[in-house]
Structure 1
Amino acid sequence: MPRLTDTQRHEVRGTCTCMLAGGLPRREIARRMGCSPSTIVRLHQRYVQTGSLNDRPRPGRQRVTSDRQERYIRVTHLRDRFQTASQRARKSIGINGRRISISTVRRRLRSGAGWKACRPFRGNMLTQRRRQNRLTWTRRLRRWLMRQWRRVLFTDESRFR
């Protein structure tokens, strides 16, 4: 189940104390609030023990980049899109002077802006002159094809010589 927001937690706390005092079972409260009964029990116990509904601190490694550095990574990527994630990681330095890994740069670009790695375009850029050349080529080819198709005869699978 998805996590409850702060407003939902406070709503559960207010509703839960009123409904529990009224004799309503926790299962019914959970159904009305759209969460599991264990969520109601844990929230109520946490509020009774700590007096707060805030999330407890979680273990885990601290982030190497701050929000500001993540924005900087995205902006520098926009300025030079042909630079790879490994080149960007070599130039970027995280919090406390630690290096940023290539996978971190990729994750920041994917999560923040929704970009993912792809091969750069290899080929001629489509300029106005090239567009004009393509158009004249297709017009010439079209005329040639029209002359060729005039020689073709469509029948119902009969052979003619």
Structure 2
Amino acid sequence: MVTCKETRAAIIALHKNGFTGKDIVATKIAPKSTIYRIIKNFKERGSILVKKASGRPRKSSKRQDRLLKRIQLRDRSATSAELAQEWQQAGVSASARTVRRRLLEDGLVSRRAAKKPLLSKKNIRDRLIFCKKYGEWTAEDWGKVIFSDEASFRLFGASGKRLVRRRKDAVTDEN
């Protein structure tokens, strides 16, 4: 159970004023096991401060994490490996997995980009020309045309599906 500094201070103050563990438990300011643990730790260390948890130190500082976020926001479709390379040029040696963790900590998730029709000025012009050329065709004219389904097959390379990173609650249709 995590207790705030004030609660720990109150438990130790009561203990110093002669209250027993049982008396402090009766006040219901914290669970019984928490109260006894706080008193035990105070007797051993002489302090109410909580020891820093053990674990592997972070590869990056908060400042470097903000830099990664800025790098990512410049190109939202950059892969984690590409971001890791850019971040390494800025002085942080971290894996693509670490990059993904840091971005997730900041609330940035990877999502498939929404598809948008590619309509350049040339596409628009060509469509207009087609419509003018065949606009007056009858059903009989179109009956002479054979339409076929198309399917694409990939042996190598990317599927063409792009991912973008954005906040979980953001709704955009980037491509």
Indicate the TM-score class for this superposition, using the shorter chain for normalisation. Answer: 0.5 to 0.7
Matched, 1:51 2:46: yes
Q: Secondary structure at the match of 1:81?
A: coil
TM-score (norm 1): 0.62
TM-score (norm 2): 0.57
Change in Cα spacing, 1:124 to 1:16, as seen in structure 2 (3 Å) is: farther
- The 4+ residue runs of structure 1 with deviation greater than 6 A are none
Match of 1:120 among 110, 113, 124: 113
Contact 1:64 1:94 in 2 (8 A): no
Aligned to 2:96: 102
Greater percentage in helix? 1
**What is the deviation of 1:121?**
2.6
Q: Secondary structure at the match of 1:68?
A: helix
**What is the deviation of 1:64?**
0.5
Q: Following the alignment from structure 1 to structure 2, what is the Cα–Cα distance between the partners of residues 115 and 57?
A: 28
Partner amino acid, structure 2, of 1:42: R
Superposed counterparts of 1:1-161, under 5 Å = 1=1, 3-18=2-17, 20=19, 25-29=23-27, 32-33=28-29, 35-93=30-88, 99-112=93-106, 114-124=107-117
Q: Identity rate of aligned residues, in percent?
A: 28
What per-residue deviation string (whole Å, max 9, x for no partner) do you get for residues 110-146 of structure 1?
112x1111112332379xxx9xxxxxxxxxxxxxxxx
What per-residue deviation string (whole Å, max 9, x for no partner) do you get for residues 32-61 of structure 1?
21x321111111111122211112233211
Q: Following the alignment from structure 1 to structure 2, what is the Cα–Cα distance between the partners of residues 98 and 79?
A: 18
Unaligned regions of 5+ residues in structure 1, if any? 131-161
User: Relative contact order (alpha carbons < 8 A, sep ≥ 6): 1 or 2 greater?
Assistant: 2
CA RMSD of aligned residues (A): 2.9
Partner amino acid, structure 2, of 1:122: K
